[in-house]
């Protein structure tokens, strides 16, 4: 019995489509189709993953006869529309909680720091030390959410570069309505913070409380907007698949179980992005050199650098070098993208 027959039988007993199996393995549907047509063979890591999915030994899968094995109803994928078989929705929901919570923690830390500004001395040190400590603690708390979230997402994308769209139009409609409400609530909270600083910021005695409330209300508003924006974005599975393909490294693309045409297209897109990045990097380095020249040339050419006044000299406009550099990078990206598609 061939590997193809075993794979087709095991997939059929689980009521699993080629797309669903591809998602579990982190390959394309075309790769599974090629395996079942005996046009190619999976790599060892994919074979081991198949053994885990179908609960069989490697020898039985490749050389044995598994067509006589009784199906396991509990392990079968329910019939019907596409389903989330790789935990995409759970992952995106967890990500949509971690990211806004991390951002909000940083903002709250800044608010508490503003509240403590100049009020408390720590062991005879400067009174602003506690403010700095609270801000740094807020940043640390935020990074405790953001860094694991980023690492988990990178690992998930690498394991599942393609996900079959299983969301219904009702799911997208619910997400859109939730985002609309969250957007209104978030903006209202930010406005409330602005009112606090306008009311309490009139007097020095209450200015710090106003700043603290402003940052806390902004943190709450940002949390609502970012969270429900990410929950809405998770329903755009096509965009996820596109971004996952763009984020793959060259080594991952070469090893990917995809059609040769798709692999070449991905490699060319990756090379094009690297070319654009190299050109834009060179432009911004030149822009930085120009900015430093504009900033320091008038200083050193003046008779008394210690009493130099920037008014009326190029030092007032040194930052424009980066603006021009950014615009040139945008032009280069557009032109190279257009000519790259024509080629």
Measure the CA dihedral 260/266/267/273, to 10°.
170
Tell how many helices (H) and how many strands (E) occur in the chain.
13, 0
Please tell me whether residue 14 adopts helix, strand or coil conformation: coil
pLDDT of 74: 44
CB atoms within 10 A of CB 215: 25
- Separation between Cα atoms, residue 321 and residue 323, nearest integer Å: 5
Percent of the chain at pLDDT > 70 equals 85
- The topology under which CATH files domain 3-74 is 434 Repressor (Amino-terminal Domain) (1.10.260)
- Separation between Cα atoms, residue 52 and residue 207, nearest integer Å: 61
Sign of the four-CA dihedral 75, 81, 84, 85: positive
What are 170-222's pLDDT values in tens digits? Answer: 999 999 999 999 999 999 999 999 999 998 888 878 888 999 999 999 999 99
Query: Is residue 77 classed exposed, middle or buried when 0-12, 13-18 and 19+ CB atoms within 10 A define those classes?
Result: middle
Across all residues in the chain, what is the average pLDDT? 83
What are 101-157's pLDDT values in tens digits? Answer: 999 999 999 999 988 877 765 555 566 788 888 999 999 999 999 999 999 998 888
CB atoms within 10 A of CB 52: 9
- Separation between Cα atoms, residue 168 and residue 173, nearest integer Å: 9
Locate 125 and state its tokens: 């040190």
pTM beyond 0.75 = no
Burial state string for 248-280 with b = 16 or more CB within 10 A and e = fewer than 16: beeeebeebbbeeeebeebeebbebeeebeeeb
What are 233-286's pLDDT values in tens digits? Answer: 999 988 887 777 666 665 665 555 555 666 666 667 777 778 888 999 999 999
pLDDT of 120: 65
CB atoms within 10 A of CB 118: 11
- Separation between Cα atoms, residue 230 and residue 179, nearest integer Å: 9
- Separation between Cα atoms, residue 80 and residue 113, nearest integer Å: 54
- Separation between Cα atoms, residue 172 and residue 179, nearest integer Å: 10
What are 47-92's pLDDT values in tens digits? Answer: 888 888 888 888 888 888 877 776 655 455 545 566 677 789 999 9
Percent of the chain at pLDDT > 90 equals 38
- Separation between Cα atoms, residue 252 and residue 145, nearest integer Å: 27
Q: For residue 130, which of 107, 114, 144 has the smallest C-alpha distance?
A: 114
Q: How many residues does the chain have?
A: 343
Enumerate long-range contacts of 281-285, CB under 8 Å, 24 or more apart. 283/325, 283/328, 283/329, 283/332, 284/322, 284/325, 284/326, 284/329
- Separation between Cα atoms, residue 241 and residue 161, nearest integer Å: 6
CB 326 within 8 A of CB 290: no
Residue found under tokens 């609960």 = 55
Strands (E), the chain: none
Calculate mean pLDDT across residues 303-313.
Answer: 76
């Amino acid at each position: 019995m061939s590997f193809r027959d075993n794979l087709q039988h095991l997939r059929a007993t689980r009521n699993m489509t080629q797309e669903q199996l591809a998602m579990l393995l982190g390959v394309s549907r075309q790769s599974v189709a090629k395996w079942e047509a005996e046009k190619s063979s999976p790599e060892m890591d994919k074979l081991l993953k198949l053994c885990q999915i179908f609960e069989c030994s490697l020898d039985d899968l490749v050389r044995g006869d598994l067509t006589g094995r009784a199906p396991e109803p509990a392990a079968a994928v329910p019939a019907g529309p596409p389903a989330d078989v790789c935990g995409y929705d759970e992952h995106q929901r967890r990500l949509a909680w971690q990211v806004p919570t991390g951002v909000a923690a940083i903002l709250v830390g800044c608010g508490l720091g503003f509240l403590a500004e100049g009020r408390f001395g720590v062991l005879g040190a400067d009174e602003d030390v506690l403010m700095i400590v609270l801000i740094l603690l807020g940043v640390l708390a935020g990074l405790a959410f953001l860094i694991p979230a980023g690492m988990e997402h990178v690992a998930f994308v690498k394991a599942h570069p393609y996900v079959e769209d299983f969301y219904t139009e009702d799911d997208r409609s619910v997400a859109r309505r939730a985002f609309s409400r969250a957007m209104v609530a978030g903006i209202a909270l930010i406005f409330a913070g602005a009112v606090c600083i306008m009311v309490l910021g009139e007097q020095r005695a209450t200015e710090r409380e106003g700043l603290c409330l402003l940052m806390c209300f902004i943190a709450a508003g940002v949390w609502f907007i970012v969270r429900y924006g990410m929950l809405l974005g998770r329903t755009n599975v096509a965009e996820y698949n596109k971004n996952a393909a763009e984020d793959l490294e060259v080594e991952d693309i070469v090893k990917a179980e995809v059609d040769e045409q798709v692999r070449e297209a991905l490699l060319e897109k990756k090379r094009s992005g690297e070319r654009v990045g190299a050109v834009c990097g060179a432009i911004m380095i030149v822009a930085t050199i120009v900015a430093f020249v504009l900033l320091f040339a008038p200083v050193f050419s003046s008779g008394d650098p210690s009493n130099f006044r920037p008014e009326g000299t190029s030092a007032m406009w040194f930052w424009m070098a980066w603006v021009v550099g950014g615009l040139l990078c945008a032009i280069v990206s557009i032109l190279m993208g257009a000519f790259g598609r024509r080629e």
